């Protein structure tokens, strides 16, 4: 197995899919000649030509609308929105067209479309380059929503998304592109090259959608996390000494409810962590599901640790970012109740 960054793993997934199926096309702003703002598509245009990997105008609604038409006619477009913050002009196309196509056509048409988006903060991107809008898409019937936390999952989940007959929103935590991040911004940066999850199998190694992974086994409290927050949760557990079981959801829709229920019924406690704003965040849905399915097993109220209900600040980035200190406080509090 090769060792890769998440950027390289995503690029590898594109390459494997494009080599296997000529219907796979890749496009977006600067993804062709330049290889994407984060270089996730570098070299694909040179290898597969300008008809299969090409640049698009700066028009998110146009990019998504074109991709939906391509998908309806049998192609398998994989498109990039440069930052998740820029997807809003295309939201109507995604919700009203891509998500509804199978249902409104009585399955005569499907929409095998993947929309890739760098998401989240931790890079001093400010309020217009740091948002985490996943809850806006988990709310929409007909969409699948994925967020990997490491290179191995990034490749495997992207291959599964490309193979899926329905539209998949694929969020990529940009703070994890080049290495894992536990929330301690003042520590030296760690590379994926020295991390076990930086080992990526060759070829078509698919990670199925809808299956969570236990990143840290534990018996005292279940932590539900995804993306960057997986590593923050692991760090908080180690630093507090709380025997936490950290579950990496990986897929938000479909959700691995079975894994969540099994863990919470075992531990009797639950902490939910995400970087997005608190109100109406995906953590609220997770909390409701835990209460519904695990009520008689809970020893304490479920706690959420999230971003604040404000635009993502630039100067106070680390006060906004749910770091291991805040997560650790939640772990200790849930153990006291």
Annotated catalytic residues are 129
Cα gap 45→181, rounded to integer Å = 31
Instruction: Render 143-167 in DSSP notation, one character per residue.
Output: -EEE--SSHHHHHHHHHHHHH-SS-
Q: What is the 3-state secondary structure (H, E, C) of 27-60?
A: EECCCCCCCCCCCCCCCHHHHHCCCCEEECCCCH
Q: Which residue has the tokens 């477009």?
A: 77
Q: 199's torsion region: left (phi>0), alpha (psi -120 to 50) or beta? A: beta
Number of neighbours of residue 103 by Cβ within 10 angstroms: 10
Report yes or no: 253 and 147 within 8 Å, Cβ to Cβ. Answer: no
CB of 199 within 8 A of CB of 233?
Answer: no
Q: Which helix (H) or strand (E) holds 253?
A: strand 251-253
Q: How far apart are CA 178 and CA 140, in angstroms?
A: 31
């Amino acid at each position: 197995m090769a060792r890769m960054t998440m950027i390289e793993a995503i690029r590898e997934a594109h390459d494997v899919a494009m080599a296997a199926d000529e219907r796979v096309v890749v496009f977006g702003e600067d993804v062709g000649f330049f290889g994407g703002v984060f270089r996730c598509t570098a070299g694909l245009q040179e290898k597969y030509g300008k008809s299969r990997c090409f640049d698009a105008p700066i028009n998110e609604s146009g990019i998504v609308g074109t991709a939906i038409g391509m998908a309806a006619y049998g192609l398998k477009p994989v498109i990039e929105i440069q930052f998740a913050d820029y997807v809003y002009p295309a939201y109507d196309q995604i919700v009203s067209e891509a998500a509804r196509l199978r249902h409104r056509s009585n399955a005569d048409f499907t929409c095998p479309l993947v929309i890739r988006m760098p998401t989240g903060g931790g890079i001093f991107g400010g309020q217009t380059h740091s948002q985490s809008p996943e809850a806006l898409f988990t709310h929409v019937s007909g969409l699948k929503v994925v967020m990997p936390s490491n290179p191995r999952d990034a490749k495997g989940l992207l291959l599964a998304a490309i193979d899926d007959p329905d539209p998949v929103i694929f969020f990529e935590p940009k703070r994890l592109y080049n290495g894992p991040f536990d929330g301690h911004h003042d520590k030296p940066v760690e590379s994926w090259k020295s991390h076990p999850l930086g080992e990526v199998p060759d070829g078509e190694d698919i990670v199925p959608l809808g299956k969570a992974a236990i990143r840290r086994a534990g018996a005292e409290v279940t932590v539900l996390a995804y993306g960057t927050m997986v590593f923050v949760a692991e760090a908080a557990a180690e630093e507090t000494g709380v025997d936490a079981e950290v579950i990496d959801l990986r897929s938000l829709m479909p959700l691995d409810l079975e894994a969540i229920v099994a863990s919470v019924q075992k531990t009797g406690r639950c902490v939910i962590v995400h970087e997005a704003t608190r109100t109406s965040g995906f953590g609220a849905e997770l909390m409701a599901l835990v209460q519904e399915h695990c009520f008689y097993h809970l020893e304490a109220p479920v706690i959420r640790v999230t971003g604040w209900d404000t635009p993502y600040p630039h100067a106070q980035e680390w006060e906004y970012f749910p770091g291991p200190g805040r997560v650790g406080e939640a772990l200790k509090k849930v153990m006291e109740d």
